[in-house]
Amino acid sequence: MRYGWRGRIGHIAPAILDTSAEEFRKLLPEGVLHVGLTISEPIQILGAEQAASAFERMVDAGKRLANEQVDVIVCGGAPVALSRGTGGDAELAELLRRETGLPVVTANGVVVEALRLFGARSVVAVSPFAEARNQDIRSFLEASGFHVLAAQGLGLIKNIDFANQSAEAAFTLAKRAVSANPDADAIYIACPRWPTVDIIAALEADTGKPVVAAAAAMVWGALRAIKIMDCQSGYGRLMDSLRAQTSRD
């Protein structure tokens, strides 16, 4: 049986595809293939100039993925889209749809969808990022209608340092944010390059809050886009909602 017999999910990353690819593969159901592609000049240090320069390369990467016969394009790199302001996500999605003719899932847009699925109004956001990037996350979420009670990060700027974190780093930071802001409706864990998917279920159990982690949100959005309402079990409420929707239907 060939790889991708149920579907092929194209994934554009502005940085090296290492941990994020592993996170995707953990979540995908049998028969769905992750087809990942890094832009021609991957970002290694996260800064405003690097993010802005990657924007056009994301569209080129999307066209190359379309030639690989993927069924949907997941556009990673939330900072790249936000380098154009809060409307950058929609701009990038429209460019990719126009150039490829494929459904497009964006890193920022799918997080908004996931938070709304849970009816969240107030959130805490955690990331491996430095303060300036955390404030970009706050601005985007607030522009999308959420009340951000906290936006905290580890203060890192090198992408390889994101990848070298343990999943415990995200768990500890998120749990601390919820302890300081117990009225939060949901937890958003930004960035698919630091490991997070293995702690989603435990974090939900310990806090009682739904967790929207970047990698899980992108996979969730991609599977919905190609109408595969299935996933690996044990990765939290968002992923489980795929099967729940099938049961309701």
Reported as a single tens digit per residue, the pLDDT across 36-45 is 998 877 655 5
Q: What are the structure tokens assigned to 182, written together?
A: 């117990």
Going by C-alpha positions, the residue among 78, 69, 91, 108 that lies closest to residue 13 is 78
pTM beyond 0.85, yes or no: yes
pLDDT in the model for residue 15: 82
Check pLDDT > 80 for residue 75. Answer: yes
CA torsion angle 22 97 2 213 (round to 10): 20
Check pLDDT > 90 for residue 82. Answer: no
Structural domain includes residue 234 = no
Are 102 and 114 in the same domain? no
Going by C-alpha positions, the residue among 10, 209, 212 that lies closest to residue 101 is 10
In contact, 118 and 216? CB cutoff 8 Å: no
In contact, 94 and 129? CB cutoff 8 Å: no
Q: What are the structure tokens assigned to 159, written together?
A: 């992408």
- DSSP for residue 197: G
Structural domain includes residue 225 = no
**Quick one: what percent of the chain has pLDDT higher than 70?**
93
Are 40 and 77 in the same domain? yes
From the number of C-beta atoms within 10 Å of its C-beta (0-12, 13-18, 19+), residue 2 rates as exposed
In the numeric block, the tokens 């491996």 are attached to: 128
**Quick one: what percent of the chain has pLDDT higher than 90?**
75
* Helix orientation angle between 214-225 and 237-248, rounded to the nearest 10 degrees: 20
pLDDT tens-digit readout, 6-51: 999 999 988 888 999 999 999 999 999 999 998 877 655 556 667 6
Q: Give the Cβ contact number of residue 94 at 10 Å.
A: 11
* Helix orientation angle between 107-117 and 88-100, rounded to the nearest 10 degrees: 110
Structural domain includes residue 229 = no
Question: What is the CATH number for 49?
Answer: 3.40.50.12500
Task: Name the domain boundary from 65, 85, 108.
Answer: 108
Residue 29 φ/ψ, nearest 5 degrees: -75, 170
Arithmetic mean of pLDDT, 137-155: 96
Structural domain includes residue 242 = no
Structural domain includes residue 233 = no
Structural domain includes residue 2 = no
Mean pLDDT over each residue of the chain, to the nearest integer: 91
- Containing structural domain, residue 161: 110-215
State how many domains the chain has. Answer: 2
Question: What is the CATH number for 179?
Answer: 3.40.50.1860
Are 202 and 117 in the same domain? yes
